[in-house]
Amino acid sequence: MALFFGYTQLLSSTIKLENNMIDDKKSQVVSKIVETEKQVNLNDSNITILKSEEDIVKDVQLDFEKRRMDRRYMESKWRLNINFWLGNQHSQIGIRGDIEDTDNDYYWQERETYNHIAPIIETRLAKLGRVRPKMSVRPSSGDEEDIRAAVVSSKILECVYQKINFDEIVAKATAWSEVTGSSFYKISWDSNMGKRVGDKINSELFEGDVRIDSCSPFEIFPDTLAVDTIADCNSIIHAKAMHIDDIEEIWGKRIEKCKNTILDLDVVRFVVQNNHGLSMEREKVQEDYCIVVERYTRPNKHLPNGELVIVSGDVLLYHGDLPYFIGSDGKLELPFVKQNALFVPGSFFGLSVIERAIPIQRAYNAVKNRKHEFLNRLAVGVLAVEDGSVDIDNLTEEGLAPGKILAYRQGGSIPRMLDSGRLPPEFNSEEDRLRNEFITISGVSEIVRNSDIPGQVSSGVAIQLLLEQDDTRLSLTAQSIKQAIRQLAQFVLRMYRQFAVAGRLDRIVGDDNEVELLSWKSSDLNSDDVVFDTVNELSNTPAAKQNMLFELLKNGLLFDQEGKLSDTMRHKMLDALGYGGWENSQSLDTLHIKRATLENTNALKQKLEVEEIDRHDLHIDIHTAHLLGGALRKSKDFLQIKKILIEHIKEHKKFAKLEKQAIAVEQESVSR
């Protein structure tokens, strides 16, 4: 028994020793695997860095083709939307994904189109064209320097949008988003823009400026379609057809004539020029044009600075780090902003109203065409003749003209018109139902679309409610436009913070509506917290503003304590109504207000003097409003400015009192 226990103990120790040896061996193997993985990762990163130009070009081309195939069904829908928008409404998506024309069942069938989609899109674009929010930059703190920097940033945004004609860019992007469901903005730094600052070899030198381009969805290829935003994408490809001469001018490399097929990005023009209005081919060959493929990759473990690769044909035009630090906290970011017509959860591209209206448009065209065919039967008629009794060829060519002598065979039956019956009432009811369904689907009522008030609506309140419902339906699209503009404003400020290192001089419109020069540089832009200054632009129309002013005036809310409309308030009313310079007296009031505002600004720079020609009541109001404002109270010179302005106000009051006394004395002398 003791021997047995001894043998068991020996066997147990042997097993433990073997297990320890196995564990040691396993740990050695695991450590070797980990070391191998590290080496592989290191080699992979080195391969990424040391890849030849041919490998880089091939990688981008394969990636681009894969993304094109993944997105092909989306392009087919966009092309179908464009055809229906332009009136080519007898088209459909074929089995291969191309746009095909449908044939008639019979040669005599009518194929007219009664386009209700175009006025819907035009109405939506007209209302969305008012969505141009005015933006300002919120200071990062209450310090005077931060407040000034925020004011400078706001003025720079306004100046930039005027220089690049930003309204036209947004209008173009909105048109693309309404037709296809999505549009994109691309922001970049163009070294050939801005003021000319000097010369370099064989060219001029410019200070550079921000560039914003609107891109159609045909040009944008994300790495996956199953994400909602650009922030969720790891990389985005921007593909655009360019002339080979332009490619050489920008990147300095000559591309031989590109014989490969290129994307039909100018799809609208091609559809219009086609005889049938249909893009029968998805691709086509263009001489002297080639696709420029730009792949922007977000920073990751292997590419800490991101990557930008630009390829055209088989030539590598550029390969380097992601160039723009326009993300939050100065991070590298993809230079694209997306705008949707209608948001689709889980999809990168949005939805267009046209997709919902296409089935209704097809049904409406069918009803109208069948209705007109029936009316043609009623008008022209269907003639029944006995075989061989009349000249059928003559009847087929000439028909039954008024006064025509119809000869028929003696003994034969007299030709007669068949009774076609009456037009069924279902045609009219179905037509009306489809028109109402257009309104339900599009969110655009007949008041706005047709400029006509429904016959059953006679109340002004009811009409206003219908208009508000239209604004509510469009608010989702309007919110997407506003968010895109806000993100673009942030990108603009961050782009200037990165590139506008040297001092710049721009002409801006000051608070007193006078043009002034602003000197600034990147260090002055310490905040990019962009906020909206305007309310809902859809409902806040000029007519609505005027009606609101009249209501306030009617209810006496604009009168002073004596129940009178002061000159200052009258000036503001006329200015709000667009009649600021309507009469000479109001122009003088404007000049007095500008003078008082300028005195507020220069209170520390120059001595303020009261003159006899001053409108003392206006000056007192402007100076008092400036003292009560929150911006001045945050200033470090508030107490000093307050003392100066209070003394200045006292002088105005003295002059005003003396003028009243002089007027009273003059009136008393006249009465005597």
Q: Is the dihedral of CA 343, 349, 353, 358 positive or negative?
A: negative
Lookup: tokens for 243? 């002339």
One-letter amino acid for residue 238 of the chain? H
- Cβ neighbors of 38 (< 8 A, separation 6 or more) are none
Residues shown for the chain? 672
- CA dist 595 and 307 (Å) reads 55
- CA dist 391 and 226 (Å) reads 68
pLDDT of residue 213: 93
| Beta pairing class for 182-190 and 196-200 | unpaired
- CA dist 89 and 100 (Å) reads 11
Lookup: tokens for 207? 């200070």
Per-residue pLDDT reduced to its tens digit, 61-112: 999 999 999 988 899 999 999 999 998 888 888 888 888 888 777 787 888 8
Per-residue pLDDT reduced to its tens digit, 198-254: 777 777 788 888 999 999 999 999 999 999 999 999 999 999 988 888 898 889 888
List the chain residues with pLDDT less than 70.
1-50, 142-145, 257-287, 443, 445-471, 508-517, 533-546, 567-568, 571, 575-587, 630-631, 634, 672
The answer to whether the beta carbons of residues 196 and 206 sit under 8 Å apart is yes
- CA dist 437 and 459 (Å) reads 23
Angle at 414 between CA 411 and CA 418, to 5 degrees: 150
Which among 356, 365, 353 has a CA at the least distance from the CA of 430?
365
pTM of the model: 0.71
Burial of 438 (0-12, 13-18, 19+ CB in 10 A): buried
Helix, strand or coil, per DSSP, at residue 473? helix
pLDDT of residue 570: 73
One-letter amino acid for residue 550 of the chain? F
- CA dist 536 and 338 (Å) reads 21
| Beta pairing class for 209-215 and 307-312 | unpaired
Q: How far is CA 294 from CA 60, 244, 349, in A?
A: 9, 16, 19
| Beta pairing class for 289-297 and 283-284 | unpaired
- CA dist 326 and 493 (Å) reads 8
Lookup: tokens for 382? 């269907």
Q: Give DSSP secondary structure letters for 266-302.
A: -HHHHHHHSTTS----SEE--TTEEEEEEEEE---SS
- CA dist 474 and 229 (Å) reads 21
Half-sphere exposure of 277 (CA within 13 A, CB side): 16
Which among 604, 651, 642 has a CA at the least distance from the CA of 624?
642
* Neighbour tally for 404: CB within 10 Å: 10
- Cβ neighbors of 335 (< 8 A, separation 6 or more) are 186, 187, 188, 296, 324, 326, 491
